[in-house]
Structure 1
Amino acid sequence: MSNGAVVLGGERAKDNGSRQRDPRAGESRTRILDAAETLFAGASYAAVSMRDIASRAGVGLGAANYHFGSKEELFKQVFLRRARDLNRERARLLSEAVEAALPSPVGLRMVLDALLRPAIRWSFDPGGRALFIQFLIRCQADPGSPLRALFHEDLDHLRRFLPALAQALPDLSEDDILWRLHFTLGALHYTITDLARLDSLSNGSCDTSTFEPVLERIIDYAESGFRGKLSG
């Protein structure tokens, strides 16, 4: 991801960009990406074929292979297309928070808002961004999916938060911040993937129907976790 995205398939990425000079090629490529995202969000990586994707996109199999070369490359581009946007939004919110706080250090709550807001908001989006969240949920649960390798390679967008967290939490070591960031991201993942369980557990008393209350709850939780007393 620019803003944290690993660049994958370098030469192919350049070639794909040149192909999009023809608007029709760009439209075809977008339809293929949309179709792949929908199918990968609903079935395992192994169960979805390039032929399935081409059929849903309304293009020939040759067009899908022409634009992406392989199913794995297409999968990566589905991920990167949305992840770039998500991490640009995170970076923008973080930059705005840091600038607004000057000359003081940015507050922890504003850093957490920049980290958590985009993904929570996307999970409530009725359009394609919510579909991307479903894509992530499905692929993270699929041992045959290439997504785990992508997550391990793509970490720069998270490292961008470390200086702001260190300023907001000067008494914590870098290791302590990293552990607490890790736990916070785990809470974020569970929040965007299984709010229905909380509905059932609370018999509907917990408000999970709208974006802002959910965001405020997870920021409260994460802030308490980051500020919690160290053991020992």
Structure 2
Amino acid sequence: MSTQPGKPGPETRSRILDAAEALFVEHGLDGTSMRMITAAAGVNLAAVNYHFGTKDSLIHEVFKRRLGELNQARIAALDRAERRAREQGGGLKPSQVLEAFFTPSLEMVADTAGGGRTFMQLLGRTYTEPNAFVRKFLAEEYAETLQRFLQALYDSLPGVPREEILWRFHFMMGATSYAIAGTDALQLFAGHFDDEDPARMLPRLISFLLGGLRAPLPDFVNAAPRPSRAAKTPDAT
């Protein structure tokens, strides 16, 4: 395979992004070198510099190219759920909010041919391995979408303090990131396990998350409720 940059174009750019994405999943952002990326993509450093300039810019583009699609799918799902609720003369249920948020994630996990699964695994790894540069970018990219969904959760759970909903949403992100990473961990304590169908994972995941979302409040919250205060928005997977 040629290692020359050749004519600048979408094919070379996409090949670099695909290679970087897969390597970031396997080795982490810090553990992946530019040399590893150029070798996997079959290009030289000049090609990477031409298309992206720096490693940080490359990381930025790896995330950006799929985040827009994911955000749009989530908002569209929430819009549809809200329309159905209005037509039925009621408000959104927590289960409908969660389904609108998490279904697009699992649909992307099912996209093995187009790289969606790899990207979602990268998002999951990013959630558990903090990187200041990526966290800042994700917070900015997700801000509008997350605020829309958090408000929908606040409205659907009027009896739960907002601070508790934020905490529970944070826990949901962690559980989902773990699930998206794959079922390999189940081998550690369950032996043979081959049910990774995202269509089966969604109802299991929603059932689990709803249980946590609707769980009784901790005693200290019931005993001494505190006014809600501004909190950092959780990262989204």
For normalisation by structure 2, the TM-score amounts to: 0.76
On the 8 A contact 1:123/1:133 being kept in 2, the answer is yes
Q: Does 1:89 align with 2:76?
A: no
- Percent identical pairs in the alignment equals 36
Question: Which whole-Å CA distance do the structure 2 matches of 1:143 and 1:226 have between them?
Answer: 25
CA deviations over 1:69-116 (Å, ceiling 9, x no partner): 101110111011122222211111111111111142112111110111
* Structure 1 segments unaligned to the other structure (5+ residues): 1-22
AA paired with 2:99?
Answer: D
CA deviations over 1:162-203 (Å, ceiling 9, x no partner): 221122112222222212211211211121125222354334
The 5 Å alignment of 1:5-24 reads none
Are the structure 2 counterparts of residues 177 and 53 from structure 1 closer, same or farther at C-alpha, using a change threshold of 3 Å? same
**Cross-structure match for 1:133:** 120
**Cross-structure match for 2:175:** 187
CA deviations over 1:102-147 (Å, ceiling 9, x no partner): 1421121111101111222323332201111232344455566843
Question: Which whole-Å CA distance do the structure 1 matches of 2:211 and 2:165 have between them?
Answer: 13
Question: Which whole-Å CA distance do the structure 2 matches of 1:147 and 1:108 have between them?
Answer: 29
For normalisation by structure 1, the TM-score amounts to: 0.78
**Cross-structure match for 1:36:** 20
Question: Which whole-Å CA distance do the structure 2 matches of 1:169 and 1:139 have between them?
Answer: 29
1:39 CA displacement: 2.1
Q: 1:166 aligns with which of 154, 157, 164?
A: 154
Q: Does 1:27 align with 2:11?
A: yes
Q: 1:118 aligns with which of 97, 104, 107?
A: 104
Q: 1:230 aligns with which of 206, 211, 217?
A: 217
Aligned residues: 209
RMSD of aligned Cα (Å): 2.6
* Structure 2 segments unaligned to the other structure (5+ residues): 1-6, 223-237
SS in 2 for 1:84: helix
Question: Which whole-Å CA distance do the structure 2 matches of 1:150 and 1:225 have between them?
Answer: 28
Question: Which whole-Å CA distance do the structure 2 matches of 1:115 and 1:88 have between them?
Answer: 11
On the 8 A contact 1:44/1:145 being kept in 2, the answer is no
AA paired with 1:78?
Answer: V
If asked which structure has higher relative contact order (CA below 8 Å, sep 6+), I would say: 1
**Cross-structure match for 1:3:** none
CA deviations over 1:42-77 (Å, ceiling 9, x no partner): 223344333432343333422211221101110111
AA paired with 2:61?
Answer: Q
Q: 1:219 aligns with which of 206, 210, 213?
A: 206
Are the structure 2 counterparts of residues 92 and 29 from structure 1 closer, same or farther at C-alpha, using a change threshold of 3 Å? same
